[in-house]
Structure 1
Amino acid sequence: MTNALALVVYMAIVTWLTLLIASMMRARGWTLPGIILALGNRENMPEPLAVADRADRAARNTLENFVLFAALVLTAHAMGVVDHRIELGAEIFFWARLAYIPIYIAGIIYVRTVVWTISIIGLGMITSTLL
């Protein structure tokens, strides 16, 4: 398995954990009523805290970007393209996304956008090898 493919697996785990954390924050899963709500159909959810809203947006953004990342890396693999830009782009994307999640949840503006842009540069490096 190439490093880029391993990063797809790691990013899938990070994405799932981000979705899980956002969901538990929204349901307030650290409380008994929150646990009961999280185990149910999630009807009558309480108003989300600002941090829970940010966690949800970070999770959705992570999922959206993971789909693009996985599609690009898997396409490169299926095509048999071997290029250092794929590996480097995958690493840049992964580490930038790993930094992006807590920055977004913490509400650190501007830095969030810079880190997001760095992750997009990683995707661009992968894309450039396929065109």
Structure 2
Amino acid sequence: MTPLLNLVIYMTLLTFAAIMLGAVLRNREWTPEGMKAGLSNRDNLPEPTPLGGRAERAAANTREGFLLFVPLALVAHAAGAGEEVLLGAQIFFWARIVYLPVYLVGITYVRSLIWGVGVFGLALMLLALL
């Protein structure tokens, strides 16, 4: 498997982890009430804690990034694109790794800067394909 396809797998795992963490923290699933909410249809969820809300938003942002990353990576792989795409993918992936805990902790300006670094990685990928 190529390094680019490895990054697709790693991004898939990171996205899944972000989704699960968002649900667990949002619903406080370590409590009996939270476990009940997590196993329910989620029609009447209580308001999330600040941490739970950040975790849920970070998971949504990770899903959005995943939707942009995967098509670029797969097209690049199919086209046999070079090192520029791989560099962009690596920048994007590592920015996402740093982004999640920074968002959870609530460091606002740094979080936005890290998000921008990830977008820069996506832009490198796109420019290498055009």
CA-to-aligned-CA distance 1:24-51 (integer Å, 9 cap, x gap): 1111101011112111211221111111
Q: Matches of residues 25-40 of structure 1 in structure 2 within 5 Å? A: 25-40=25-40
Q: Which residue of 2 aligns with 1:21?
A: 21
Q: Which residue of 1 aligns with 2:120?
A: 121
Q: Which residue of 2 aligns with 1:50?
A: 50
Any idea what SS the aligned residue of 2:78 has? helix
User: Displacement of 1:80 after TM fit?
Assistant: 2.4
CA-to-aligned-CA distance 1:80-124 (integer Å, 9 cap, x gap): 22x111111111110000000111111101100111111111111
Partners of 2:13 and 2:70 lie apart in 1 by 12
Any idea what SS the aligned residue of 2:42 has? coil
Q: Which residue of 1 aligns with 2:3?
A: 3
Q: Which residue of 2 aligns with 1:102?
A: 101
Question: Please, which runs of 5 or more residues in structure 2 have no aligned partner?
Answer: none
Question: Please, which runs of 5 or more residues in structure 1 have no aligned partner?
Answer: none
TM-score (norm 2): 0.96
User: Displacement of 1:68 after TM fit?
Assistant: 0.5
Instruction: Name the count of aligned residue pairs.
Output: 130
Partners of 1:57 and 1:33 lie apart in 2 by 22
Q: Which residue of 2 aligns with 1:87?
A: 86
Partners of 2:25 and 2:90 lie apart in 1 by 29
Q: Which residue of 2 aligns with 1:78?
A: 78
Partners of 1:126 and 1:2 lie apart in 2 by 16
Partners of 1:95 and 1:80 lie apart in 2 by 22
Partners of 1:110 and 1:34 lie apart in 2 by 31
User: Displacement of 1:78 after TM fit?
Assistant: 1.7
TM-score (norm 1): 0.95
